[in-house]
Structure 1
Amino acid sequence: MFNNKQLEVLNTELNSSRIKTREKGNINLSYLEGFDVIETANKVFGFGNWSYTISKLEQVSQELNQNQNYVVCYKALVNILVYDENHIKLVNREDVGFGSGIAKTLADSHESGAKEAITDALKRSLRSFGNQFGNSLYDKSRNHQNQAKQQNKQSSHNQQMPPSNNQNQRNSTQAFNQYEYQSLYNLALNIVEQNGFLIVVGDDIFSKKDSIKACGFRWDGKTKQWYKQLEQGVA
C-alpha cells in the first residue's frame, strides 16, 4: 500500500520533543499539536497526496458560564483520504472530534469551538496511521509522559520570559486562584507560574485567544506566549 520510504518513516519511534502535555483534572495527558500532525502528513504522504473533508460539523450545546462568557460546544466528523504518486486513492480514515469555544462574543465562541472540534477529529483520524501521528500515546505501557515532561521542562527553561520588575522567582507552588481561570481549563488549557508571571499553555492556543484575553492575559511576540503578571501579595 505505502512505499518503503513511507513505511520506514511510519515505523520510526515517535520523537519525544513533539509530545506536549497538559493537566485535565488530576490526569496528565500527552498529545500532539494540530499543526504538527499536518506537517507530518505532508512529510509522509507528500503535498497534494492526502486531503481531508469535514463530513459533519454539529453544535452540541451553548450556555453562559459564571464569568458571563459564551460556551459553545461542537462535534465534528472528519474523513482522511491518502493517494499514491499517481493520485490513485489508497486508503481513507474517519473519526469524530469534540471542541468547545469560550469567548465574550457568541460569534467568537462558535468559531473557536468549531475549529477545535475539526482539529481534534483530524488528529484522531490521522492517528490510525501509527506512531508518527500519536497512536503510541494511547499505549499506557510506554513512558511518553515522562519524556514529554522532561522535554517541556527544558524548553520552558530555555525560553526568555517577558520582562518583570520582580526579580524574585516564586516557587512551584500555585499562588493564584485556579477557579478564576476555569473557563480556560474547560478549553483543555492550563495555567503555570513562571518568574512572577502566569503563562497559558495548551494545544491550538492561538485559536483560543478571545477566551484567553477575556481572562486578562496579553500576548508576547518574542516568546510566543500569553502571559499575565502575578498580582503582588496573592497567597
Structure 2
Amino acid sequence: MARPSGPPGWHHHRLDRRWRHHPRPPGREGALDRSKVKQREQGRTKVSYLEGWQAIAEANRIFGFDGWQRETISVHCIHQGERNIGRDGRTGWGVTYTARVRITVGDVIREGSGAGCTATIR
C-alpha cells in the first residue's frame, strides 16, 4: 500500500480539503488543553506525552468516533530477564517491548513505532 508523502504540513492541507463539509472538521475545535500533557523523567531529561486514553479521546474529538482507525501492526518482546538496575546496579528483572501502529483518516495513512521498558528490583 503506497503511503502519501510530501513536505511537512502537507497532510494537513489534504485533510482540510477533504473534511471541508464534515460537521466537525479537524483543527476547528480548538487546540489541545496543555493541562492534559503529562511529563516524566527519563534518564536525566523530562519527556512530555499524552496518555493512551487521552490520545484516543483527542482523535475522537477531532475526527469523530467513526472518522479514524487505529491498528496495532506488531508487538515484539525484545528482552526479558535479569538486568542491573539503577546507578548502583542492583539486580532486578526487566522487559523491553517494541510496537508498530497505523493510524488511518480517510485514505491518509501514517505509521509509527515505539518502545517501552520496565524493571523491578528483586
Please indicate the TM-score interval, normalised by the length of the shorter structure: 0.5 to 0.7
Is residue 113 of structure 2 the alignment partner of residue 90 of structure 1? no
Q: Equivalent residue for 2:25?
A: 6
Q: Equivalent residue for 2:49?
A: 31
Quick one: which amino acid aligns to residue 77 of structure 1?
R
TM-score relative to the length of structure 2: 0.65
Task: Deviation per CA, 1:72-128: give whole Å up to 9, x if none.
Answer: 11111101122xxxxxx331110011012435xxxxxxxxxxxxxxxxxxxxxxxxx
Distance (Å, rounded) in 1 between the aligned partners of 2:54 and 2:64: 15
Distance (Å, rounded) in 2 between the aligned partners of 1:23 and 1:48: 35
Quick one: which amino acid aligns to residue 102 of structure 2?
N
Across the aligned residues of Structure 1 and Structure 2, the Cα RMSD in angstroms comes to 2.5
Structure having the larger proportion of residues in helix = 1
Q: Aligned to 2:60, what secondary structure does the other structure show?
A: helix
Structure 1: gaps of 5 or more residues: 83-88, 104-182, 184-213, 215-235
> How far is 1:68 from its partner?
5.3
Q: Equivalent residue for 1:153?
A: none
Does the 8 Å contact 2:102/2:109 carry over to 1? yes
Q: Equivalent pairs: percent with the same residue? A: 31
Does the 8 Å contact 2:27/2:62 carry over to 1? no
Q: Aligned to 1:40, what secondary structure does the other structure show?
A: helix
CA distance 1:13–1:40, change in 2 (3 Å): closer
Does the 8 Å contact 2:77/2:95 carry over to 1? yes
Task: Deviation per CA, 1:15-72: give whole Å up to 9, x if none.
Answer: 2211111122221222211111101111111112222122221221222135654311
Distance (Å, rounded) in 2 between the aligned partners of 1:9 and 1:33: 23
Task: Deviation per CA, 1:139-196: give whole Å up to 9, x if none.
Answer: xxxxxxxxxxxxxxxxxxxxxxxxxxxxxxxxxxxxxxxxxxxx6xxxxxxxxxxxxx
Distance (Å, rounded) in 1 between the aligned partners of 2:81 and 2:45: 26
Does the 8 Å contact 2:96/2:116 carry over to 1? yes
CA distance 1:9–1:63, change in 2 (3 Å): farther
CA distance 1:77–1:29, change in 2 (3 Å): same
Distance (Å, rounded) in 1 between the aligned partners of 2:70 and 2:37: 23
Distance (Å, rounded) in 2 between the aligned partners of 1:28 and 1:102: 19
Structure 2: gaps of 5 or more residues: 1-17, 85-89
The alignment covers a number of residue pairs equal to 98
TM-score relative to the length of structure 1: 0.36
Distance (Å, rounded) in 1 between the aligned partners of 2:32 and 2:64: 19
> How far is 1:9 from its partner?
3.4
Is residue 76 of structure 2 the alignment partner of residue 58 of structure 1? yes
